[in-house]
Amino acid sequence: MPLDLGVLISGSGTNLGAILAAVADGRLDARVRLVVSNRADAGGLEKARAANVPVRVISHRDYPSREAFDGAVVTALREAGVEWVVLAGFMRVVTPVLLGAFQDRVINIHPALLPAFPGVDAQAQAVEYGVRVSGCTVHFVDPGVDTGPIIAQSAVEVDPEDDRESLARRLLAKEHELLVRVLGWVAEGRVEIEPPREGARRRVRVKRAPG
C-alpha cells in the first residue's frame, strides 16, 4: 500500500517539491494527503496546489500553546487520512501531542550531519565553525531538537570559499535525494527502530532490499 503522507512546511517547500515529483513519476509509492503550513505566505503551498494536493494553513499565532497548535494539526492530518508525517522545512518544535498521535511515524530532514549543528540555520553554523564536511540527516522525531534516531545521512564537502548560501544550495540537492530515498525505504517496510538497550540511544535498522 502507498504511504499516506502529511507534509508540514513553513517556507518554500523545495523538499515537498522533491516528494511530489517522485510521487508523480513513480519513484515513490506514496500519496501526499495533506500539506500543512503554519504560514499563509509559504511558497510550498503553491507547489501543493499545482499538484492538486489539499492544503491547510494553521497559524501557530492563533493558539495559546504549542500543544494546542499541535492538536489542531493532528486533527487536520487525521481528517485527511494521513499515516506518516514529514517535517520538510517546518520551523516549529513539535510536542508530544503530535508525536503521540503518530508514534514513530514522524520524520524530519535536517541540513547537517547530526548530532553536529542541531537547531536553526545549521548551514551557517557549519560555515562559521569551519568544518570541511557537512551534509544532511533524515531522522525520526522525538521531543528533543533534532535528537531522534538517525535513519540516513549524506555528506557534502565544504569549500573554503563557501558561505551560508552556497553551502545551503548544495545541501538542498542532497536533501531532496536523501529524503525521497528514505521515504522509499519506509514504503517498502525496510525501516525499523530497534528496541533500545539499557542506557543507549534508540537506533534505526534499514533492512536489505528484497532480492
| Spatial separation of the C-alpha atoms in residues 53 and 136, rounded to whole Å | 27
Catalytic member of 60, 110, 139, 176? 110
CA distances from 103 to 98, 125, 141, 149, 193 (A): 8, 31, 9, 13, 11
Burial of residue 77, with CB atoms counted within 10 A of its CB: 0-12 exposed, 13-18 middle, 19 or more buried: buried
Between β-strands 150-157 and 133-140, what pairing exists: parallel, antiparallel or unpaired? Answer: antiparallel
Cell of 139: 531522522
Cell of 161: 570559499
Tell me the one-letter amino acid at 92: R
DSSP assignment, residue 190?
Answer: -
* 110 in active site: yes
| Cross-strand bridge partners of residue 135 | 155
Q: Which residues are part of the catalytic machinery?
A: 110
